[in-house]
Amino acid sequence: MAVAADDAVALRLDEDWLRRKLRLALAIDSRDGIDALGDGVWRLGDSRRSPVLLARDLIRL
């Protein structure tokens, strides 16, 4: 099934939204910012005094 260009934009994952929702779900303090550590790896902040990393691929860590 063909997807129109306008519809493809709506289907694309909003990565910033995902990172913000993960921070809320993990009760990460809002004063901690999201740091880009490299290609597809982010530090979301600290949860229970431990750093929380998000990566597109575990091999990159």
Which amino acid is residue 21, in one-letter code? K
Question: How many CA within 13 A on the CB side of residue 42?
Answer: 16
61 has a pLDDT exceeding 70: no
Using DSSP, state whether 18 is helix, strand or coil: helix
Q: Which helix (H) or strand (E) holds 20?
A: helix 15-25
**Which residues fall within 8 angstroms of residue 29, CB to CB, at 6 or more apart?**
45, 46
pTM higher than 0.85: no
Question: How many CA within 13 A on the CB side of residue 25?
Answer: 7
What would the pLDDT profile of 2-59 be if each residue is shown by its tens digit? 878 777 777 778 888 999 999 999 988 767 789 999 888 999 998 888 889 999 888 8
